[in-house]
Amino acid sequence: MTVTVEDVCGLLEKSFDCLLILDEDGVVVHMSDPLAEETAGGPGADFRGKPVHEVLSGACLETVESTVKRLKGHGGPELVSCETRSGNPPTMLRAVMETGEDGRLFMFWGNRFVMLDTLMNDRERAKELACIYEVARWVELSQSTDEFLKDLPRYVREGMQYPEHVQVYSVYRDREYGTRPDTERSMRTDLVLDGEVRGSVYVTYDRDDLDFLPDEQRMMEEIARMLVRALERKELRRSIDEQQEELNRERAELETVNSYLSETSTGLEESKTRLETMFQAIPDTVAIIDRDRTLVMTNTDRYVPGNKCYTTFFGSDKPCVDCRLARILKQKAPITLEIEHDDRYYEVHAIPIFDKDQEVDGILEFYRDISDKRNYEQQLQQADKLASLGQLVSGIGHEINNPNQFIRGNIKIIRQAMDDILPLLDDYYQSHPDFKIARLDYEFFRQHIITLIDDMANGSARIKGIVEDLKRFARRDEGLLVDTVDLNAIIRESARLVHNQVNKTADVKLDLADDLPEFTGNVQKIQQVFVNLLINAGQAIPEGRRGVIEVTTEYGDTEVIARVGDNGSGMSERTMKQIFDPFFTTKRARGGTGLGLSIVYRIVEEHGGTVSVASKVGEGTTFTTTIPYRRKDSGGGAGLSGDSDGSRR
């Protein structure tokens, strides 16, 4: 039976939660989820088939690559440690090289959170060497055994893994130094002189979950040996030769430690450089702010650290009303919210930064500009609003139009009847001067009755016009979009149609791009768009001065763009948010129905385009319509007119 790589993976993962297999070219054959989580930062991701340098990085990658190189040389097993991303202790892995039918495989396996990594041993060994050095120096300087043993705890703690939890108790010739521990979990070292135990040193952790390292036991044994040698000589002085020899040995050890610390410092500097590069590469604005609201660091040159965050980002002289730092200081949890500043919208993620006491020391904030997203959402809301209204309009229009038809027909009959009746009433009035109709003197009635009937006819006609506008608004499928639309020609024709009405208040100026691409649509509907926009612009010019209406066209790679701008009274932000809502109008007193711009919005939307408005009170308003003339995914140049660079002609 042939054993496959899958069989090996299944067997090893039953006993070990970390497994990495590479082929001879350094390509990942298999990586277990726990190892991926600790080293590659991707639990559940599939790294098979990727080069190991694309999966691992930093010290972990260097460890794996150097181990593979050594295994190729001797093939024997090795014990290595891989650095983690999560801050947990390095993961200890066994490494071997196997040769199979598909070539050589390099396998790393083991369990997470094993506390035997080389980095930790070196660090603890450095502490222990420093401790032994200090104890040796103190042995030389101490005037008596009492003096040495009283100060011994201070030196021992510096060599232990958890110095803040260490308790030291010594006894020599029945004299006690320190407090006797009340636990059996002590590390004991005896002081043996001439084959007899004369005293002991006890080291205890005040927490049951802390254990001693083997090197810590060896350190205490070394300290005991030094003390015993001094006691055997009846004093705590060594000969000059012995002292020099000891100092030379310790100097060599300290030089080794110093060399290691220098290498570690170099590695930390390289890591710092990599982190700074990654920090600067983040596309969103990132800021680190301390608990005093001072900007500590940011990834953009626009903001200078050292000033208050509310002054740097928002130009304010006091904290924000919804200060994220104040909320996080209370909640000690990340928050996400949206803020608005200078007509832009930002999504802000604020994450607490904790100190060693788990208190909030500051916050890390990410600012993402979502203004475009908000604009798209508003357009979708507007489209949904119009779609919902369109479902109601047809029925309402029908219910209004039926009785209005009766009114229009009856008014016409009444008007004709009055033409026949009035001569008879005039004759009767000649012989009856006090003749009244509807309690009105006949002369007053005779003078106004025709005007009243005409007003009713005009009102009924206006109702009919509103209903027709409503129907045009509601019927998205009214008219087929099969015409070849020349937008420049439509704009010129629309300007002629509204000339008499618009010319009373403004001059119309056209700046139309040459060779503007044509698009497929409905000529009549597009003409209605620009008739409405031109009339709306003319009505925006305040009384007492003559305005200017400018119409421009241009095009890009996929769309034609037309702008209708005026220098009229402009609109407030609140008005702009409602301007496309059906029946919203600021010209109610002048007969406005509030349907013109809603119909504009619907027609442009039917053509796959968008319409937007920009306005400032007292300066004017500009409506921008954008209509596609070629599908973005159509490829080639189908439907493209003019040069290929897409610039305005």
Q: What is the pLDDT of residues 421-430, one digit of tens each?
A: 989 888 888 9
Q: What is the structure's pLDDT at 241? A: 53
Q: What is the structure's pLDDT at 239? A: 42
Supply the DSSP string of 246-277, one letter for each residue: HHHHHHHHHHHHHHHHHHHHHHHHHHHHHHHH
CA–CA dist 399, 233 (Å, integer)? 120
Per-residue model confidence as pLDDT tens digits over 475-487: 544 567 888 999 9
Q: What is the structure's pLDDT at 608? A: 92
Grade residue 240 by pLDDT with cuts at 50, 70 and 90.
Answer: very low
Grade residue 583 by pLDDT with cuts at 50, 70 and 90.
Answer: low
Class of domain 5-116 as given by CATH: alpha beta
CB 322: neighbour CB atoms within 10 A? 11
In three state form, how does the secondary structure of 511-565 look? ECCCCCCCEEECHHHHHHHHHHHHHHHHHCCCCCCCEEEEEEEEECCCEEEEEEE
Grade residue 564 by pLDDT with cuts at 50, 70 and 90.
Answer: very high
Of 85-99, 141-155, 364-378, the range with the lowest mean pLDDT is 85-99
Q: Would you say residue 386 has pLDDT above 80? A: no
More confident position, 639 or 461: 461
Q: Exposed, middle or buried by CB within 10 Å (0-12, 13-18, 19+), for 216?
A: buried
CB 220: neighbour CB atoms within 10 A? 24
Mean pLDDT of 593-615: 85
Long-range contacts of 58-64 (CB under 8 A, 24+ apart): 58/83, 58/271, 58/274, 59/83, 59/267, 60/84, 64/20, 64/22, 64/108
Grade residue 154 by pLDDT with cuts at 50, 70 and 90.
Answer: confident
Contacts of residue 522, Cβ cutoff 8 Å, sequence gap at least 6:
479, 480, 481, 482, 483, 485, 603, 606, 607
Percentage of the chain lying above the pLDDT 90 cut: 11
Q: What is the structure's pLDDT at 75? A: 63
Grade residue 84 by pLDDT with cuts at 50, 70 and 90.
Answer: low
Q: What is the structure's pLDDT at 119? A: 40
Q: What is the structure's pLDDT at 115? A: 39
Q: Would you say residue 541 has pLDDT above 80? A: yes
Q: Would you say residue 454 has pLDDT above 50? A: yes
Q: Would you say residue 390 has pLDDT above 70? A: no
Grade residue 43 by pLDDT with cuts at 50, 70 and 90.
Answer: low
Q: What is the structure's pLDDT at 628? A: 94
Q: Would you say residue 634 has pLDDT above 50? A: no
Per-residue model confidence as pLDDT tens digits over 391-415: 566 667 767 878 888 888 888 898 8
Mean pLDDT of the chain: 78
Mean pLDDT of 528-548: 88
Q: What is the structure's pLDDT at 563? A: 96
- CA dihedral sign, ordered 534, 536, 537, 539: positive
Q: What is the structure's pLDDT at 610? A: 93
Q: What is the structure's pLDDT at 116? A: 38
CA–CA dist 523, 532 (Å, integer)? 14
Q: Would you say residue 59 has pLDDT above 50? A: yes
Q: Would you say residue 649 has pLDDT above 60? A: no
Mean pLDDT of 249-267: 77
More confident position, 549 or 633: 549
Q: Would you say residue 591 has pLDDT above 50? A: no
Q: Which residue has the tokens 């043996």?
A: 192
CA–CA dist 18, 269 (Å, integer)? 29
CA Rg, the chain, in Å?
45
Q: Would you say residue 242 has pLDDT above 60? A: no
Mean pLDDT of 532-561: 91
> Is there a contact between 92 and 108 (Cβ–Cβ < 8 Å)?
no
Mean pLDDT of 67-74: 81
More confident position, 126 or 293: 293
Architecture of domain 483-628: 2-Layer Sandwich (3.30)
Grade residue 594 by pLDDT with cuts at 50, 70 and 90.
Answer: low
Q: What is the structure's pLDDT at 513? A: 93
Q: Would you say residue 52 has pLDDT above 80? A: yes
Beta-carbon-side half-sphere exposure of residue 516 (alpha carbons within 13 Å): 23
CA–CA dist 192, 175 (Å, integer)? 16
User: Domain 285-369 falls in which CATH fold?
Assistant: Beta-Lactamase (3.30.450)
Mean pLDDT of 89-97: 72
Q: How many residues are listed for the chain in this entry?
A: 649
> Is there a contact between 449 and 414 (Cβ–Cβ < 8 Å)?
no
Of 141-145, 164-168, 545-549, the range with the lowest mean pLDDT is 141-145
Q: What is the structure's pLDDT at 208? A: 79
User: Domain 119-238 falls in which CATH fold?
Assistant: Beta-Lactamase (3.30.450)
> Is there a contact between 623 and 613 (Cβ–Cβ < 8 Å)?
yes
Q: What is the structure's pLDDT at 624? A: 95
Grade residue 197 by pLDDT with cuts at 50, 70 and 90.
Answer: confident
Contacts of residue 312, Cβ cutoff 8 Å, sequence gap at least 6:
295, 303, 304
Of 61-70, 114-123, 605-614, the range with the lowest mean pLDDT is 114-123
Per-residue model confidence as pLDDT tens digits over 121-132: 545 555 666 677
